[in-house]
Structure 1
Amino acid sequence: MDRVGDAFVWPFRDPEWVNKILIMGLIQLIPFVGAINGLGWMLAALHRLRAGEERLPPANFEHLGRGFRLFVVYLVYYGSVVLIGAVLYVPGTLILAQQGKDSSSPLLVAVGLGLLLLAFSVVTLGLLLMTFLTPSVVLEFDGGGIPGGLRLGDVLRRARFSLTNTLIAGLMLIAAGLVGQLGSVACFIGVVFTSVYALAMQAWIVRSFELGAAAPAGR
Protein backbone atom coordinates (compact mmCIF):
# COMPACT_ATOMS: atom_id res chain seq x y z
CA MET A 1 0.00 0.00 0.00
CA ASP A 2 1.25 3.42 -1.01
CA ARG A 3 2.58 5.54 1.90
CA VAL A 4 -0.02 4.10 4.26
CA GLY A 5 1.98 5.31 7.26
CA ASP A 6 1.31 8.89 6.17
CA ALA A 7 -2.26 8.40 7.39
CA PHE A 8 -1.05 9.66 10.77
CA VAL A 9 0.45 12.90 9.47
CA TRP A 10 -1.36 14.00 6.34
CA PRO A 11 -4.14 16.00 8.11
CA PHE A 12 -1.50 18.36 9.51
CA ARG A 13 -0.37 19.33 5.99
CA ASP A 14 -3.46 21.50 5.68
CA PRO A 15 -2.66 24.98 7.07
CA GLU A 16 -6.26 25.22 8.29
CA TRP A 17 -6.32 21.80 9.96
CA VAL A 18 -6.97 23.17 13.45
CA ASN A 19 -10.12 25.08 12.48
CA LYS A 20 -11.46 22.31 10.27
CA ILE A 21 -10.95 19.56 12.81
CA LEU A 22 -12.37 21.68 15.63
CA ILE A 23 -15.52 22.60 13.69
CA MET A 24 -16.04 19.06 12.41
CA GLY A 25 -15.47 17.77 15.92
CA LEU A 26 -18.20 20.01 17.28
CA ILE A 27 -20.52 18.83 14.50
CA GLN A 28 -19.65 15.25 15.42
CA LEU A 29 -21.11 15.87 18.87
CA ILE A 30 -24.59 16.22 17.37
CA PRO A 31 -26.29 12.84 17.88
CA PHE A 32 -26.78 10.80 14.71
CA VAL A 33 -26.42 13.79 12.36
CA GLY A 34 -22.80 14.37 13.35
CA ALA A 35 -21.76 10.77 12.69
CA ILE A 36 -23.50 10.71 9.29
CA ASN A 37 -21.96 14.03 8.29
CA GLY A 38 -18.59 12.64 9.38
CA LEU A 39 -18.93 9.72 6.96
CA GLY A 40 -19.62 12.14 4.13
CA TRP A 41 -16.66 14.29 5.20
CA MET A 42 -14.43 11.21 5.09
CA LEU A 43 -15.60 10.53 1.52
CA ALA A 44 -14.90 14.14 0.57
CA ALA A 45 -11.38 13.75 1.97
CA LEU A 46 -10.97 10.58 -0.12
CA HIS A 47 -11.98 12.49 -3.26
CA ARG A 48 -9.48 15.24 -2.50
CA LEU A 49 -6.70 12.71 -2.00
CA ARG A 50 -7.66 11.04 -5.27
CA ALA A 51 -7.34 14.43 -6.98
CA GLY A 52 -3.87 14.86 -5.48
CA GLU A 53 -4.94 17.54 -3.01
CA GLU A 54 -3.71 16.80 0.50
CA ARG A 55 -6.02 19.25 2.23
CA LEU A 56 -8.95 18.49 4.48
CA PRO A 57 -12.46 19.15 3.12
CA PRO A 58 -14.47 22.14 4.36
CA ALA A 59 -16.00 21.65 7.79
CA ASN A 60 -19.75 22.06 7.27
CA PHE A 61 -22.98 20.13 6.83
CA GLU A 62 -22.63 19.71 3.07
CA HIS A 63 -21.52 16.10 3.51
CA LEU A 64 -24.78 14.85 5.01
CA GLY A 65 -26.30 13.47 1.81
CA ARG A 66 -23.42 11.28 0.77
CA GLY A 67 -22.74 10.35 4.36
CA PHE A 68 -26.32 9.17 4.82
CA ARG A 69 -26.07 6.89 1.78
CA LEU A 70 -22.87 5.33 3.09
CA PHE A 71 -24.54 5.01 6.50
CA VAL A 72 -27.33 2.98 4.88
CA VAL A 73 -24.74 0.58 3.44
CA TYR A 74 -23.01 0.23 6.81
CA LEU A 75 -26.38 -0.25 8.50
CA VAL A 76 -27.21 -3.20 6.26
CA TYR A 77 -23.87 -4.92 6.85
CA TYR A 78 -23.56 -4.30 10.57
CA GLY A 79 -27.27 -4.88 11.08
CA SER A 80 -26.91 -8.28 9.43
CA VAL A 81 -24.09 -9.21 11.80
CA VAL A 82 -26.14 -8.15 14.82
CA LEU A 83 -29.22 -9.96 13.50
CA ILE A 84 -27.33 -13.22 13.08
CA GLY A 85 -25.96 -12.83 16.60
CA ALA A 86 -29.46 -12.12 17.94
CA VAL A 87 -30.83 -15.28 16.31
CA LEU A 88 -28.37 -17.23 18.46
CA TYR A 89 -28.40 -15.01 21.55
CA VAL A 90 -32.15 -14.77 22.16
CA PRO A 91 -32.84 -18.53 22.25
CA GLY A 92 -29.82 -19.05 24.50
CA THR A 93 -31.07 -16.38 26.90
CA LEU A 94 -34.59 -17.82 26.94
CA ILE A 95 -33.29 -21.32 27.63
CA LEU A 96 -31.15 -20.16 30.54
CA ALA A 97 -33.98 -18.01 31.93
CA GLN A 98 -36.34 -20.97 31.84
CA GLN A 99 -33.79 -23.23 33.48
CA GLY A 100 -33.38 -20.69 36.25
CA LYS A 101 -37.07 -21.02 37.15
CA ASP A 102 -37.48 -24.79 36.95
CA SER A 103 -35.29 -27.68 37.97
CA SER A 104 -32.38 -27.20 35.62
CA SER A 105 -31.29 -29.71 33.03
CA PRO A 106 -27.49 -29.83 32.57
CA LEU A 107 -27.98 -30.51 28.86
CA LEU A 108 -30.24 -27.50 28.31
CA VAL A 109 -27.97 -25.26 30.38
CA ALA A 110 -25.05 -26.38 28.23
CA VAL A 111 -27.07 -25.67 25.08
CA GLY A 112 -27.99 -22.21 26.35
CA LEU A 113 -24.42 -21.35 27.26
CA GLY A 114 -23.23 -22.74 23.94
CA LEU A 115 -25.66 -20.51 22.03
CA LEU A 116 -24.52 -17.45 23.98
CA LEU A 117 -20.88 -18.23 23.34
CA LEU A 118 -21.59 -18.83 19.66
CA ALA A 119 -23.53 -15.56 19.43
CA PHE A 120 -20.68 -13.52 20.93
CA SER A 121 -18.16 -15.31 18.69
CA VAL A 122 -20.20 -14.66 15.54
CA VAL A 123 -20.69 -10.98 16.35
CA THR A 124 -17.03 -10.47 17.26
CA LEU A 125 -15.74 -12.18 14.13
CA GLY A 126 -18.36 -10.45 12.00
CA LEU A 127 -17.37 -7.01 13.24
CA LEU A 128 -13.70 -7.82 12.73
CA LEU A 129 -14.42 -9.02 9.19
CA MET A 130 -16.30 -5.82 8.46
CA THR A 131 -13.28 -3.80 9.56
CA PHE A 132 -11.12 -5.54 6.99
CA LEU A 133 -13.80 -5.22 4.31
CA THR A 134 -14.41 -1.52 4.97
CA PRO A 135 -12.02 -0.17 2.27
CA SER A 136 -13.63 -2.42 -0.33
CA VAL A 137 -17.13 -1.46 0.81
CA VAL A 138 -16.29 2.26 0.67
CA LEU A 139 -14.75 2.01 -2.80
CA GLU A 140 -17.60 -0.06 -4.20
CA PHE A 141 -20.06 2.45 -2.72
CA ASP A 142 -18.05 5.36 -4.09
CA GLY A 143 -18.24 3.91 -7.58
CA GLY A 144 -21.77 2.53 -7.54
CA GLY A 145 -23.72 4.19 -4.76
CA ILE A 146 -25.80 2.16 -2.33
CA PRO A 147 -26.35 -0.74 -4.80
CA GLY A 148 -22.60 -0.90 -5.44
CA GLY A 149 -21.75 -0.93 -1.76
CA LEU A 150 -24.23 -3.74 -1.15
CA ARG A 151 -22.93 -5.99 -3.92
CA LEU A 152 -21.19 -8.35 -1.55
CA GLY A 153 -19.66 -10.38 -4.37
CA ASP A 154 -17.87 -7.33 -5.76
CA VAL A 155 -16.79 -6.27 -2.27
CA LEU A 156 -15.29 -9.70 -1.57
CA ARG A 157 -13.67 -9.83 -5.01
CA ARG A 158 -11.94 -6.51 -4.42
CA ALA A 159 -10.81 -7.57 -0.95
CA ARG A 160 -9.47 -10.92 -2.19
CA PHE A 161 -7.63 -9.37 -5.12
CA SER A 162 -4.83 -8.29 -2.79
CA LEU A 163 -5.14 -9.97 0.59
CA THR A 164 -1.96 -8.29 1.81
CA ASN A 165 -3.39 -4.83 1.15
CA THR A 166 -6.69 -5.86 2.73
CA LEU A 167 -4.85 -7.05 5.84
CA ILE A 168 -2.71 -3.92 6.12
CA ALA A 169 -5.68 -1.61 5.56
CA GLY A 170 -7.73 -3.47 8.17
CA LEU A 171 -4.97 -3.23 10.76
CA MET A 172 -4.54 0.47 10.02
CA LEU A 173 -8.29 1.00 10.42
CA ILE A 174 -8.11 -0.71 13.79
CA ALA A 175 -5.32 1.72 14.72
CA ALA A 176 -7.45 4.63 13.49
CA GLY A 177 -10.32 3.37 15.62
CA LEU A 178 -8.08 3.28 18.68
CA VAL A 179 -6.93 6.81 17.95
CA GLY A 180 -10.55 7.89 17.67
CA GLN A 181 -11.26 6.46 21.13
CA LEU A 182 -8.33 8.20 22.80
CA GLY A 183 -10.35 11.35 23.34
CA SER A 184 -12.86 9.48 25.47
CA VAL A 185 -10.20 8.87 28.11
CA ALA A 186 -8.89 12.42 27.90
CA CYS A 187 -11.23 15.38 27.98
CA PHE A 188 -13.90 17.15 25.91
CA ILE A 189 -11.36 18.73 23.57
CA GLY A 190 -9.77 15.32 23.12
CA VAL A 191 -13.01 13.79 21.86
CA VAL A 192 -13.53 16.69 19.45
CA PHE A 193 -10.06 16.22 17.97
CA THR A 194 -9.52 12.47 17.85
CA SER A 195 -12.85 11.49 16.30
CA VAL A 196 -12.31 13.74 13.27
CA TYR A 197 -8.61 12.93 13.06
CA ALA A 198 -9.55 9.24 12.85
CA LEU A 199 -11.92 9.98 9.93
CA ALA A 200 -9.10 11.74 8.08
CA MET A 201 -6.90 8.71 8.72
CA GLN A 202 -9.59 6.44 7.30
CA ALA A 203 -9.71 8.47 4.08
CA TRP A 204 -5.95 8.08 3.60
CA ILE A 205 -6.10 4.35 4.39
CA VAL A 206 -8.87 3.76 1.85
CA ARG A 207 -6.99 5.76 -0.79
CA SER A 208 -3.78 3.82 -0.08
CA PHE A 209 -5.73 0.58 -0.40
CA GLU A 210 -7.14 1.79 -3.71
CA LEU A 211 -3.66 2.60 -5.02
CA GLY A 212 -2.14 -0.62 -3.72
CA ALA A 213 -4.68 -2.98 -5.23
CA ALA A 214 -5.64 -2.75 -8.87
CA ALA A 215 -9.32 -3.16 -9.64
CA PRO A 216 -10.37 -6.76 -10.23
CA ALA A 217 -10.24 -7.87 -13.80
CA GLY A 218 -13.40 -7.48 -15.76
CA ARG A 219 -14.71 -4.50 -13.81
Structure 2
Amino acid sequence: MEFGRAFSYVFKDPDWLKKVAITGLIGLIPILGQLYLFGWGLEMSRRVIKGEPELLPEIDFGGFLGKGFQAWVIALVYSIPVIILQLPLQLIGPLGASLQMDQDTFSYVMIAVSVCCGGLLLIYSIFLALMLPAAMGNFVSKNQLGAGLRFGEVFALVKAAPVAYLLVLVGNLLVGIIAPLGLIACIIGVVVTQAYGLAVMGHFIGQAYKEATQKLGVA
Protein backbone atom coordinates (compact mmCIF):
# COMPACT_ATOMS: atom_id res chain seq x y z
CA MET A 1 0.00 0.00 0.00
CA GLU A 2 1.28 3.43 -0.98
CA PHE A 3 -0.64 5.52 1.52
CA GLY A 4 0.51 8.97 0.45
CA ARG A 5 0.02 8.21 -3.22
CA ALA A 6 -3.75 7.97 -2.76
CA PHE A 7 -3.76 11.62 -1.68
CA SER A 8 -1.20 12.94 -4.18
CA TYR A 9 -1.98 11.18 -7.48
CA VAL A 10 -4.96 13.46 -8.14
CA PHE A 11 -2.67 16.47 -8.67
CA LYS A 12 -0.61 14.67 -11.33
CA ASP A 13 -3.54 14.91 -13.74
CA PRO A 14 -3.08 18.16 -15.74
CA ASP A 15 -6.85 18.69 -15.73
CA TRP A 16 -7.43 17.66 -12.12
CA LEU A 17 -9.04 20.91 -10.99
CA LYS A 18 -11.51 20.98 -13.88
CA LYS A 19 -12.44 17.32 -13.44
CA VAL A 20 -12.82 17.60 -9.68
CA ALA A 21 -14.86 20.81 -9.93
CA ILE A 22 -17.23 19.46 -12.60
CA THR A 23 -17.67 16.18 -10.75
CA GLY A 24 -18.30 18.05 -7.52
CA LEU A 25 -20.95 20.21 -9.20
CA ILE A 26 -22.69 17.09 -10.52
CA GLY A 27 -22.60 15.79 -6.96
CA LEU A 28 -24.82 18.69 -5.89
CA ILE A 29 -27.75 17.15 -7.80
CA PRO A 30 -30.04 15.61 -5.15
CA ILE A 31 -29.70 11.81 -4.84
CA LEU A 32 -28.51 11.21 -8.43
CA GLY A 33 -25.45 13.37 -7.87
CA GLN A 34 -24.32 11.31 -4.89
CA LEU A 35 -24.76 8.07 -6.84
CA TYR A 36 -22.74 9.58 -9.69
CA LEU A 37 -19.96 10.59 -7.30
CA PHE A 38 -19.88 7.09 -5.85
CA GLY A 39 -19.58 5.56 -9.31
CA TRP A 40 -16.94 8.09 -10.36
CA GLY A 41 -14.78 7.25 -7.36
CA LEU A 42 -15.14 3.52 -8.00
CA GLU A 43 -14.01 4.00 -11.60
CA MET A 44 -10.72 5.12 -10.09
CA SER A 45 -10.67 1.88 -8.07
CA ARG A 46 -11.10 -0.11 -11.27
CA ARG A 47 -8.26 1.74 -12.99
CA VAL A 48 -5.88 1.09 -10.12
CA ILE A 49 -6.85 -2.60 -10.03
CA LYS A 50 -6.39 -3.00 -13.79
CA GLY A 51 -3.13 -1.06 -13.83
CA GLU A 52 -4.48 1.65 -16.13
CA PRO A 53 -3.14 5.25 -16.14
CA GLU A 54 -4.14 7.00 -12.92
CA LEU A 55 -5.90 9.94 -14.56
CA LEU A 56 -9.17 11.17 -13.09
CA PRO A 57 -12.19 9.95 -15.06
CA GLU A 58 -13.92 12.20 -17.58
CA ILE A 59 -17.68 12.74 -17.38
CA ASP A 60 -19.77 9.61 -18.02
CA PHE A 61 -23.09 10.41 -16.41
CA GLY A 62 -24.98 7.26 -17.34
CA GLY A 63 -22.07 4.91 -16.73
CA PHE A 64 -21.06 6.28 -13.33
CA LEU A 65 -24.67 6.72 -12.23
CA GLY A 66 -25.34 3.05 -12.96
CA LYS A 67 -22.15 1.96 -11.22
CA GLY A 68 -22.97 4.13 -8.22
CA PHE A 69 -26.47 2.68 -7.97
CA GLN A 70 -25.15 -0.89 -8.01
CA ALA A 71 -22.62 0.03 -5.34
CA TRP A 72 -25.43 1.54 -3.26
CA VAL A 73 -27.35 -1.75 -3.50
CA ILE A 74 -24.28 -3.66 -2.30
CA ALA A 75 -23.81 -1.24 0.60
CA LEU A 76 -27.50 -1.56 1.50
CA VAL A 77 -27.28 -5.36 1.68
CA TYR A 78 -24.23 -5.18 3.96
CA SER A 79 -26.06 -2.65 6.13
CA ILE A 80 -29.08 -4.89 6.80
CA PRO A 81 -27.64 -6.20 10.11
CA VAL A 82 -27.15 -2.59 11.23
CA ILE A 83 -30.81 -1.85 10.52
CA ILE A 84 -31.90 -5.00 12.37
CA LEU A 85 -29.74 -4.20 15.41
CA GLN A 86 -31.11 -0.67 15.57
CA LEU A 87 -34.73 -1.83 15.63
CA PRO A 88 -34.77 -2.89 19.32
CA LEU A 89 -33.30 0.48 20.29
CA GLN A 90 -36.07 2.25 18.37
CA LEU A 91 -38.87 0.00 19.60
CA ILE A 92 -38.02 -0.30 23.29
CA GLY A 93 -39.55 3.10 24.13
CA PRO A 94 -42.98 2.52 22.53
CA LEU A 95 -42.98 -1.10 23.74
CA GLY A 96 -42.29 -0.06 27.32
CA ALA A 97 -45.12 2.46 27.18
CA SER A 98 -47.58 -0.05 25.72
CA LEU A 99 -46.71 -2.64 28.40
CA GLN A 100 -46.94 0.04 31.08
CA MET A 101 -43.58 -0.85 32.61
CA ASP A 102 -42.63 0.88 35.84
CA GLN A 103 -39.68 3.26 35.67
CA ASP A 104 -37.14 0.93 37.29
CA THR A 105 -38.02 -2.05 35.09
CA PHE A 106 -37.97 0.11 31.98
CA SER A 107 -34.54 1.48 32.93
CA TYR A 108 -33.09 -2.02 33.39
CA VAL A 109 -34.55 -3.22 30.09
CA MET A 110 -33.28 -0.11 28.30
CA ILE A 111 -29.77 -0.59 29.69
CA ALA A 112 -29.73 -4.30 28.78
CA VAL A 113 -30.95 -3.68 25.23
CA SER A 114 -28.58 -0.74 24.74
CA VAL A 115 -25.55 -2.70 25.94
CA CYS A 116 -26.36 -5.81 23.88
CA CYS A 117 -27.40 -4.09 20.67
CA GLY A 118 -24.88 -1.27 21.05
CA GLY A 119 -22.02 -3.72 21.53
CA LEU A 120 -23.05 -5.80 18.54
CA LEU A 121 -23.46 -2.64 16.47
CA LEU A 122 -19.94 -1.53 17.32
CA ILE A 123 -18.45 -4.91 16.42
CA TYR A 124 -20.38 -5.17 13.17
CA SER A 125 -19.59 -1.55 12.23
CA ILE A 126 -15.86 -2.31 12.41
CA PHE A 127 -16.43 -5.51 10.43
CA LEU A 128 -18.46 -3.55 7.87
CA ALA A 129 -15.77 -0.87 7.55
CA LEU A 130 -13.31 -3.59 6.50
CA MET A 131 -15.65 -5.68 4.36
CA LEU A 132 -17.33 -2.95 2.32
CA PRO A 133 -14.16 -1.67 0.57
CA ALA A 134 -13.30 -5.28 -0.33
CA ALA A 135 -16.83 -5.80 -1.66
CA MET A 136 -16.55 -2.66 -3.79
CA GLY A 137 -13.19 -3.77 -5.13
CA ASN A 138 -14.57 -7.18 -6.09
CA PHE A 139 -17.56 -5.50 -7.74
CA VAL A 140 -15.59 -3.10 -9.95
CA SER A 141 -12.87 -5.62 -10.76
CA LYS A 142 -15.36 -8.18 -12.10
CA ASN A 143 -17.98 -5.64 -13.21
CA GLN A 144 -20.72 -7.73 -11.60
CA LEU A 145 -23.04 -6.59 -8.84
CA GLY A 146 -23.14 -10.15 -7.54
CA ALA A 147 -19.36 -10.15 -7.08
CA GLY A 148 -19.75 -7.60 -4.32
CA LEU A 149 -22.19 -9.91 -2.55
CA ARG A 150 -20.04 -13.05 -2.64
CA PHE A 151 -19.36 -12.87 1.07
CA GLY A 152 -16.86 -15.73 1.04
CA GLU A 153 -14.72 -14.07 -1.63
CA VAL A 154 -14.96 -10.68 0.06
CA PHE A 155 -13.99 -12.06 3.47
CA ALA A 156 -11.06 -13.91 1.88
CA LEU A 157 -9.80 -10.59 0.50
CA VAL A 158 -9.87 -8.95 3.93
CA LYS A 159 -8.27 -12.01 5.52
CA ALA A 160 -5.48 -12.00 2.92
CA ALA A 161 -4.58 -8.33 3.43
CA PRO A 162 -5.94 -7.13 6.79
CA VAL A 163 -3.34 -4.38 7.15
CA ALA A 164 -4.22 -3.00 3.72
CA TYR A 165 -7.90 -2.79 4.62
CA LEU A 166 -7.07 -1.24 7.98
CA LEU A 167 -5.18 1.43 6.05
CA VAL A 168 -8.26 1.95 3.89
CA LEU A 169 -10.20 2.53 7.11
CA VAL A 170 -7.58 5.04 8.29
CA GLY A 171 -7.70 6.74 4.90
CA ASN A 172 -11.47 6.95 5.14
CA LEU A 173 -11.19 8.61 8.55
CA LEU A 174 -8.72 11.15 7.17
CA VAL A 175 -10.99 11.90 4.23
CA GLY A 176 -13.79 12.41 6.74
CA ILE A 177 -11.63 15.05 8.42
CA ILE A 178 -10.78 16.77 5.13
CA ALA A 179 -14.34 16.90 3.78
CA PRO A 180 -15.78 19.30 6.41
CA LEU A 181 -12.99 21.75 5.59
CA GLY A 182 -14.96 22.55 2.46
CA LEU A 183 -17.65 24.11 4.61
CA ILE A 184 -15.13 26.69 5.76
CA ALA A 185 -14.62 27.77 2.15
CA CYS A 186 -18.38 27.64 1.53
CA ILE A 187 -19.90 26.01 -1.56
CA ILE A 188 -16.78 26.03 -3.75
CA GLY A 189 -14.84 24.22 -1.04
CA VAL A 190 -17.57 21.60 -0.58
CA VAL A 191 -17.64 20.93 -4.33
CA VAL A 192 -13.89 20.31 -4.48
CA THR A 193 -13.32 18.43 -1.21
CA GLN A 194 -16.19 15.97 -1.70
CA ALA A 195 -15.04 14.90 -5.15
CA TYR A 196 -11.39 14.84 -4.05
CA GLY A 197 -12.27 12.67 -1.05
CA LEU A 198 -14.01 10.09 -3.23
CA ALA A 199 -11.07 10.06 -5.65
CA VAL A 200 -8.77 9.32 -2.70
CA MET A 201 -11.03 6.57 -1.38
CA GLY A 202 -11.33 5.04 -4.83
CA HIS A 203 -7.55 4.78 -5.03
CA PHE A 204 -7.33 3.20 -1.57
CA ILE A 205 -9.96 0.59 -2.49
CA GLY A 206 -8.10 -0.27 -5.67
CA GLN A 207 -4.74 -0.58 -3.92
CA ALA A 208 -6.10 -2.81 -1.15
CA TYR A 209 -7.91 -5.09 -3.59
CA LYS A 210 -4.82 -5.40 -5.76
CA GLU A 211 -2.64 -6.32 -2.77
CA ALA A 212 -5.19 -8.85 -1.50
CA THR A 213 -5.57 -10.60 -4.86
CA GLN A 214 -1.80 -10.75 -5.29
CA LYS A 215 -1.48 -12.49 -1.93
CA LEU A 216 -4.29 -14.86 -2.85
CA GLY A 217 -2.68 -15.55 -6.22
CA VAL A 218 -5.79 -14.40 -8.07
CA ALA A 219 -5.39 -12.69 -11.42
Both structures adopt the same fold (TM-score exceeding 0.5)? yes
> Is the contact between residue 96 and residue 113 of structure 1 (CA under 8 Å) also seen in structure 2?
no
Tell me the distance in 2 between the aligned counterparts of 1:117 and 1:30. 39
Tell me the distance in 1 between the aligned counterparts of 2:218 and 2:210. 18
Equivalent residue of 1:30, what SS? coil
> What is the Cα deviation at residue 169 of structure 1?
1.9
Report whether the alignment pairs 1:90 with 2:85. no
> What is the Cα deviation at residue 15 of structure 1?
0.8
TM-score, normalization by structure 1:
0.86
Tell me the distance in 1 between the aligned counterparts of 2:205 and 2:218. 21
Tell me the distance in 1 between the aligned counterparts of 2:117 and 2:189. 34
Give the counterpart of 1:134 among 128, 132, 141.
132
Equivalent residue of 2:164, what SS? helix
> Equivalences for 1:1-219 in 2 at 5 Å?
1=1, 3-49=2-48, 50-62=50-62, 63-86=64-87, 88-98=88-98, 102=100, 104-142=102-140, 143=142, 145-213=144-212, 214=214, 216=216
Tell me the distance in 1 between the aligned counterparts of 2:132 and 2:184. 26
Q: Percent identity?
A: 27
TM-score, normalization by structure 2:
0.86
Deviates more, 1:139-148 or 1:62-71: 139-148
Equivalent residue of 2:55, what SS? coil
CA RMSD of aligned residues (A): 2.3
Task: Identify the structure with bigger relative contact order (alpha carbons < 8 Å, sequence gap 6+).
Answer: 2
> What is the Cα deviation at residue 197 of structure 1?
0.5
Query: What is the aligned length?
Result: 215
TM-superposition CA deviations, 1:31-87 (whole Å, max 9, x none): 11011111211122223333331210013413111111111101111233122221x
> What is the Cα deviation at residue 192 of structure 1?
0.5
Equivalent residue of 2:157, what SS? helix
> Is the contact between residue 74 and residue 145 of structure 2 (CA under 8 Å) also seen in structure 1?
yes
Tell me the distance in 1 between the aligned counterparts of 2:30 and 2:123. 27
Gapped runs of 5+ residues in structure 1? none
